Amino acid sequence: MYWTLELASYLEDAPWPATKEELIDFAMRSGSPLEVIENLQEIDDEGEAYETIEDIWPDYPSKDDFFFNEDEY
């Protein structure tokens, strides 16, 4: 399983919180690349709902990780 910003971006509009099955269904209906669906299928599922993409990909960069000042734009 590997994630990139591009792949994770397909889950930005997912109906959070969501279970693994709901995320796979969303990815299929929204036309996400096969890699996104494969990554979701590889998740060890314990039946819990995921609150955000960070629950799936802990290294997902937050806005604080980018070095620009939003007030300037």
Tens of each residue's pLDDT in the chain, 73 residues: 889 989 999 998 999 999 999 999 999 999 999 999 999 999 988 888 999 999 998 888 865 555 556 666 5
Given this model, what pLDDT does residue 59 score? 83
Given this model, what pLDDT does residue 67 score? 57
Residues 6+ apart with CB under 8 A from 63: 70
- The pTM of this model reads 0.81
Given this model, what pLDDT does residue 30 score? 96
Given this model, what pLDDT does residue 46 score? 80
- Between CA 10 and CA 32 the distance in angstroms is 6
Is the C-alpha dihedral spanning 42, 43, 49, 54 positive or negative? negative
